[in-house]
Amino acid sequence: MHEPGEVKIPIGPQHPALKEPESFLINLHGEKITAVSVRLGYNHRGIEKACEERTYVQDLYLVERICGICSHSHSTCFVQAVEEIAGIEVPARAKYIRTLIAELERIHSHLLWLGVAGHEIGFDTLLMYTWRDREVVMDLLATLTGNRVNYGINTLGGVRRDINSEQKEEVLKAMGILEERTKYYIELAQGETTVVKRLAGVGILSYEDAQRLGTVGPTARASGIERDTRKDDPYAAYAELDFKVITSSHCDVYGRTIVRLGELMESYSMVRQIIQKIPDGPISVKSPRKIPAGEAVSRYEAPRGEDFHYVRSNGTEKPDRVKVRAPTLANIQAVSKMLEDRYLADMPIVVAAIDPCFSCTDRLIAIRDTERKRKNTVPWETVRLKGIEWYKMQGIDFTSLNKKLTKIF
């Protein structure tokens, strides 16, 4: 305790409000928040480095696992960058299938978010209802791709699975059910007094602040910024689809809810258009194992906002550098702004309202020496050696295996 009446409370790294480890240290005066300090870096997995050790096709499966929810977003974003370097022209049908999965993913992500938001404001009934309805789209994804979460549908030069007319019927049927349910949720979000009371006026982020802090996705759109990669820089089949960019001028958590619910309705109409317009033809073209030297940037509108991949190749079958900027990294800065002068009770919903995905965001670990107040950066080789030593201590030794492998190659 510092000043009288001021309490420091740690939300995280482990806390029921957070689904992933992240630290929010909150200074509290009574019920009011006076200061927030956010600390990232509890969930660093070294995926970018690991990508450099694998071939492009292996990387596809690795980047798909950056995020458990927007898995298709990352894999599409990556594959688009690689295809651009290699100069591969993806068939139209493949582009439509990619878009279809992307929109279905948005539907399942937004429904999941609605449930989580309900839970954060203590409305568990909403959580149970939305997650039940989310099963419809999850089952649909399973029938279309074979998996509920990591679809593995992308490949270099197209997609791996085609859809048939039976599946098209199923998709249309599911859209009907979901549209009905979403209308009910829109009514609920606008009509249920306790929900409106907990959401309206909470976590305000003005248009200027949203611009200045570089927010993306529904967070930006709820502050009135018309920013949507699908419209601004169309990829896949989005240029041929008719859809609106949903914005709101509420600038608060309520606005973010309305934007996401509106996007759900847009997604249903987009899926219907895709089913109607999908052209015949091959679903993939052959791609070379070795990608020519070059670099490319790819942008993609993930459910949480703009996803950004940078790939640099050196003419081998492994990338030279892969850089991922997940949407949460762009939005996390806005959280401290949103929490200014708010109550502790608003903290979970404000954090949840950017739909955070912390493990996707974490790019490095900074080791802090709290006694000497100094940051420490450890070079890659040291980390590697430490890793080998740690495994030796656990009784796992790779040295003999490594020798054998070097003999073979």
- Residue written as token pair 């997650």: 131
Place of tokens 């068939």: 91
Neighbours of 149 (CB within 10 A): 17
Question: Is residue 187 close enough to count as binding another protein by CB under 8 A?
Answer: no
User: In angstroms, what is the minimal distance from the CB of 111 to another protein?
Assistant: 15
Report the residue number, 121 or 324, with the smaller CB distance to another protein.
121
Tell me which of 122, 176, 292, 387 binds another protein, using CB under 8 A: 122
Say whether residue 316 binds another protein (CB under 8 A).
no
- The residues pairing with 325 across neighbouring beta strands, listed in sequence order, are 308
The distance of closest approach from Cβ of residue 400 to another protein in the complex, given in angstroms and rounded to an integer, is 44
The alpha helices in 228-371, defined as continuous H runs, are 229-232, 253-277, 327-338, 347-353, 358-361
Considering only the stretches 34-42, 138-146, 155-163, 341-349, report the one whose residues sit in contact with another protein under the rule CB under 8 A: 341-349
- Spell out the residues 6+ positions from residue 24 whose beta carbon is closer than 8 angstroms to its own: 10, 11, 12, 36, 37, 38, 39, 347, 351
Q: Which region, judged by CB under 8 A, interacts with another protein, from 102-110, 117-125, 264-272, 292-300?
A: 117-125
- Pick 10 or 176: Cβ nearer another protein: 10
Q: Does 344 bind another protein (CB under 8 A)?
A: yes
H-helix or E-strand containing 307? Answer: strand 305-313
DSSP state letter for 306: E
Residue 27 in contact with residue 21, Cβ under 8 Å?
Answer: no
| Stretch near another protein under the rule CB under 8 A, chosen from 15-23, 296-304, 369-377, 401-409 | 15-23
The footprint of another protein on residues 123-152 (CB under 8 A) is 123-126, 128-129, 132
Segment interacting with another protein (CB under 8 A) among 121-129, 170-178, 296-304, 384-392: 121-129
Instruction: Give residues 196-255 in contact with another protein (rule: CB under 8 A).
Output: 197-198
Annotate 259-298 with DSSP letters as a single string: HHHHHHHHHHHHHHHHHHHPPPS-SB----SSPPSEEEEE
Give the count of residues interacting with another protein (CB under 8 A).
32
Q: Which is closer to another protein, CB of 13 or CB of 214?
A: 13
Q: Does 260 bind another protein (CB under 8 A)?
A: no
Distances (CA, A) of 117 to 113, 176, 220, 342: 6, 24, 18, 17
* Residue ranges in contact with another protein by CB under 8 A: 7-10, 15-17, 28, 31, 118-126, 128-129, 132, 192, 194-195, 197-198, 343-348
